[in-house]
Amino acid sequence: MNNNNNNNINLKKKVTLTFAMGPEYTTTLETLTREKGSYFDRLLVPGTDLSNKIFVDRDGELFQYILRYLWDLDRSVFPKDLQRDIKRELKFYKINVLTWFDETKQKICTVPDTISKQYSRSKKAAFNMFDCIYTWLCLVLSKVAKAIGSFINFVGFLLLETIKGILLLALFLMTSFLSINSTLGNRRQNLASGFVFFKDITFFLKH
């Protein structure tokens, strides 16, 4: 809107704006049209009925920063943590401060980049610690498994030797028993033979 059009209307006249979400705002026509070529500068042309509320299909919560900027054209009112949202709103309202955002982008991104690097270092340190713990656990489990295997082998060897000893003892006892039994049998046989011989001699002498 040009200067001639501005002279034809009362710039101090109040304008009430409502939004799709968020609160409504009441300000002056002068404030809304301060940025030449903006959304409101083109919308509020001479003859516009300002007695009714003007509906804007945007976020009313974010409009407070747009309004603060239009009061004094002070770019410091834009919070850095809402840069993306405010940049989108500025584009809609055709307010030409996007270049300023591009110039300060590196400064604004310094903190997130630092946090990202710290997070990467912390993540790497945590991974290294986990890797050390995992390696230590594998080593301990390997030694425990080896010790259990050695113990099982020892118990198996001891059990096998015990069984062999029992079998040898049983064989020895059986052999001894058979030997003793055989000796006693021979003695009985010798006694029987001697008795028969003595009986034969006695019979011979009698006859």
Whole-model pTM? 0.45
The fold for domain 3-108 equals: Potassium Channel Kv1.1; Chain A (3.30.710)
User: What does the pLDDT read at residue 6?
Assistant: 46
Please give the chain's pLDDT, 207 residues, in tens.
444 444 445 888 999 999 999 999 999 999 999 988 999 999 998 888 888 999 999 999 999 999 999 998 888 888 888 888 999 999 999 988 765 565 555 444 444 545 555 656 666 667 677 778 888 888 888 888 888 988 888 888 888 888 988 988 888 888 888 878 777 666 666 656 655 555 656 666 565
Q: Are 113 and 120 in contact (CB under 8 A)?
A: no
Spans of all domains in the chain:
3-108
Q: Do the beta carbons of residue 64 and residue 52 sit within 8 Å?
A: no
18 membership: H or E segment, kind and range: strand 14-21
DSSP 82: G
Given strand 25-28, what is the order of strands in its sheet? 25-28, 14-21, 54-59
Tokens representing residue 28 in the block = 């002056």
Q: pLDDT tens across 122-132, in order?
A: 666 676 777 78
Bridge partners of 55, per DSSP, are: 18
Q: What is the pLDDT of residues 72-102, one digit of tens each?
A: 888 888 888 888 899 999 999 998 876 556 5
Mapping DSSP to helix (H, G, I), strand (E, B) and coil, where does residue 29 land?
helix
